[in-house]
Amino acid sequence: MKYAVFNNKGGVGKSTLAVHIAHGLALEGYKVLLLDMDGQNDASLFLGFTSEDYKKTLYDVISSRQRVELQECIIHARDNLDLLPSTQVDLINLEFFREARIDLILKEKLKPLEELGYHFVIIDCGPQRTKVNDAVLCYADGLIVPVQMQAASVRAVGNIYEYLSDMRLDAGMIKLVVPNMFDQRINDSKENMELLEEFIANDDLLAPPIFRRTKIAEAGKLGKTVYEHDSESARQFESIVKKVISHVQRE
């Protein structure tokens, strides 16, 4: 299964969620590839890798001028968890502008992944509407959407539905909505949670919230996941991972 962690809005926790779903699934024994499609490289950094740690990236595979095998770009990040970094997403975006079939491009370029036996490919997306995101939305089997528990962010959820509709994609591809940076101490968070519940027609899509915790940001800065740093946050991400697994088992 290929899940993209997506939201047009920046800074809502896409990279954090992508890394923790990927590592969480790996800890459950699934073989996972985390595909970094965010120009800022955060998924790699949150796992403790910098651009010094890899020479070849997805751009080398996608660029028509080079002859690089996909396998050469994959790095081993943790037990059961591999990482496919892409440092030059802006250049990939330019390449994709020349593509007539944006809906097929990643399917074709990432075809070798099918032979590598991954149970899950988790894709960390950059924000906004880009050609790269168009391609990712067409490639993914489902979307996991983190929403920051802030009124403006909750209202912006409508933009995701609009984007899917403009791409002629079915809103049913949203498999899970994850309220993030929930703060129990603020009333606002509860109101925003109710607002989100109104937005999301199907309760089954809504995951339990992830609380705002300094340790989550701290783990990212240390290049660790919360499973290696903070057992309380780890429990919250584990319940999201269980939801992902139960969705897959049902489909």
Ligand X SMILES: Nc1ncnc2c1ncn2[C@@H]1O[C@H](COP(=O)(O)OP(=O)(O)OP(=O)(O)O)[C@@H](O)[C@H]1O
Under the binding rule (CB under 6 A), the answer on residue 15 touching ligand X is yes
How far apart CA 2 and CA 117 sit, in angstroms, is 13
Partner whose footprint covers residue 222, from Mg ion, ligand X, none (CB < 5 to 8 Å by kind): none
| Interface stretch with ligand X, choices 101-109, 111-119, 161-169, 213-221 (CB under 6 A) | 213-221
Under the binding rule (CB under 6 A), the answer on residue 10 touching ligand X is yes
- In the complex with ligand X, the residue whose CB is nearer, 16 or 80, is 16
Write down the least CB distance from residue 74 to ligand X, Å.
21
Write down the least CB distance from residue 213 to ligand X, Å.
5
The identity of residue 33, as a single letter, is L
- In the complex with ligand X, the residue whose CB is nearer, 24 or 126, is 126
Strands 75-78 and 81-84, sheet pairing: antiparallel
Under the binding rule (CB under 6 A), the answer on residue 247 touching ligand X is no
Partner whose footprint covers residue 12, from Mg ion, ligand X, none (CB < 5 to 8 Å by kind): ligand X
| C-alpha dihedral (212, 213, 214, 216), degrees to nearest 10 | -100
- In the complex with ligand X, the residue whose CB is nearer, 70 or 220, is 220
3-state secondary structure of 81: strand
Q: How far is CA 97 from CA 11, 87, 176, in A?
A: 25, 18, 30
* Cβ neighbours, 10 Å, residue 97: 9
How far apart CA 176 and CA 154 sit, in angstroms, is 15
Q: Give phi and psi for 176, each to the nearest 5.
A: -155, 135
Residues binding ligand X: number (CB under 6 A): 20
Tokens describing residue 75: 């790095």
Contacts 24+ apart (CB under 8 A), 221-227: 222/48, 223/45, 223/46, 223/47, 223/48, 223/49, 224/48, 225/19, 225/20, 225/23, 225/46, 225/47, 225/78, 226/20, 227/20, 227/23, 227/24, 227/27
Partner whose footprint covers residue 213, from ligand X, Mg ion, none (CB < 5 to 8 Å by kind): ligand X
* Cβ neighbours, 10 Å, residue 57: 25
- In the complex with ligand X, the residue whose CB is nearer, 98 or 221, is 221
| Interface stretch with ligand X, choices 11-19, 85-93, 133-141, 167-175 (CB under 6 A) | 11-19
Under the binding rule (CB under 6 A), the answer on residue 220 touching ligand X is yes
Judged by CB under 5 A, the chain residues 23 through 52 that form the site for Mg ion are 38, 42
Under the binding rule (CB under 6 A), the answer on residue 133 touching ligand X is no
Residues binding Mg ion: number (CB under 5 A): 4
Return residues touching ligand X (CB under 6 A): 10-16, 38, 40, 42, 126-127, 180-181, 210, 212-213, 216-217, 220
Residues that bind Mg ion (CB under 5 A): 14-15, 38, 42
